[in-house]
Structure 1
Amino acid sequence: MLPENFHNHPSPLNNSPVHSWGTGSPLDSSPNDADPLSLNSFHLPDRSPSPFSLSNQELPNTTPLIRPGLVNNLANDFGLNDQQCSTLHAYVQFGSVKGGIGKAEMLAKLYAMTVNFDLYNHPKIIEDENNVETLRRMLRDLDVRLQTTFAVTASQTKTIRAVVTDLIYDPMRTCYHELAADVFESLRKNAQQYHFHNVFGVPGYEKTLETTIVKQCSSVRNNFRQHLRDGMAASADEFTHKLNKKYLRLGGPKYSLEQLLNKNIILRNYIHENPSSIWAEEEEGDESDTDESLAVVEDGRKKKKRKLKTHGGGKVPKGCDFWGLIDRWFKEQLDEKELGKKMSDPRWKQKIEGFRRLDEAGFKNLASPSNTTTPAQSPALRTGQPVGNGAQLGRGMQALAYIR
Structure 2
Amino acid sequence: MILITTRKPKICLEVIINPAWNPLFSCQPQIDPNLFTNELSALFVDALANQFGLSDAEQDLRKNLHGFAKLGHGLSKYDLATRTYLLGSDLIFDPNRITFMTLHFDVVVNPTNRKAFKLTNIYGNPAREHFLTSYTKNQCSSICNSFRKLLCDSVIGDDTSTLSDFIYDSSNHFRRAGRNSDLGYPIHACLAILAEEEDESPTILSTEDAEDSPIREPLKKKHKHGQGGYIVKGKDFWSKVEMWFEAQQKQWGECWGTPG
Which TM-score applies when normalising by structure 1?
A: 0.44
Q: Could you say what secondary structure the match of 1:260 adopts?
A: helix
Task: For 1:231 and 1:296, locate their aligned partners in 2 and report how far apart those are by CA, in whole Å.
Answer: 17
Q: Is the 8 A contact 1:168 1:179 kept in 2?
A: yes
Q: Which amino acid aligns with 1:271?
A: E
Task: For 2:255 and 2:237, locate their aligned partners in 1 and report how far apart those are by CA, in whole Å.
Answer: 22
Distance 1:157 1:163, change over 3 A: same
> How big is the shift at 1:310?
8.3
Task: For 1:239 and 1:178, locate their aligned partners in 2 and report how far apart those are by CA, in whole Å.
Answer: 24
**1:225: which partner in 2?**
148
Q: Is the 8 A contact 1:282 1:321 kept in 2?
A: no
Task: For 2:176 and 2:169, locate their aligned partners in 1 and report how far apart those are by CA, in whole Å.
Answer: 13
**1:126: which partner in 2?**
51
2:244 is equivalent to residue 329 of structure 1: yes
Q: Which amino acid aligns with 1:325?
A: K
Task: For 1:234 and 1:251, locate their aligned partners in 2 and report how far apart those are by CA, in whole Å.
Answer: 19
Segments of structure 1 that go 5 or more residues without pairing to the other structure are 1-44, 55-90, 96-105, 285-294, 351-404
Distance 1:343 1:126, change over 3 A: same
Task: For 1:305 and 1:170, locate their aligned partners in 2 and report how far apart those are by CA, in whole Å.
Answer: 31
Deviations for 1:120-144, whole angstroms, at most 9, x for unmatched residues?
A: 8xx9x726459x97xx59x88xx6x
Q: 2:81 aligns with which of 157, 161, 177?
A: 157
Q: Which amino acid aligns with 1:46?
A: W
Q: Which amino acid aligns with 2:145?
A: N
2:159 is equivalent to residue 184 of structure 1: no
Q: Is the 8 A contact 2:85 2:214 kept in 1?
A: no
**1:343: which partner in 2?**
256
Q: How does 1:4-403 map to 2 (within 5 A)?
A: 46-47=21-22, 52=31, 126=51, 128=53, 153-186=77-110, 188-232=111-155, 233-250=160-177, 256-272=183-199, 274-277=200-203, 279=204, 298=213, 300-303=215-218, 312-335=227-250, 337=251, 339-345=252-258, 349-350=259-260
Task: For 1:177 and 1:216, locate their aligned partners in 2 and report how far apart those are by CA, in whole Å.
Answer: 12
Task: For 2:170 and 2:218, locate their aligned partners in 1 and report how far apart those are by CA, in whole Å.
Answer: 25
Task: For 1:297 and 1:235, locate their aligned partners in 2 and report how far apart those are by CA, in whole Å.
Answer: 22
Of structures 1 and 2, the one scoring higher in RCO (CA 8 A, sep 6+) is: 2
Identity, in percent, stands at 23
Q: Could you say what secondary structure the match of 2:218 adopts?
A: strand
Cα RMSD, aligned residues only: 4.4
**2:4: which partner in 1?**
none
Q: Is the 8 A contact 2:189 2:257 kept in 1?
A: no
Q: Which amino acid aligns with 1:327?
A: E
Distance 1:312 1:326, change over 3 A: same
Which TM-score applies when normalising by structure 2?
A: 0.65
Kindly tell me the number of residue pairs found equivalent between the two proteins: 219
Q: Could you say what secondary structure the match of 2:120 adopts?
A: coil
Q: Which amino acid aligns with 2:114?
A: A
> How big is the shift at 1:213?
1.1
Distance 1:154 1:248, change over 3 A: same
Segments of structure 2 that go 5 or more residues without pairing to the other structure are 1-19
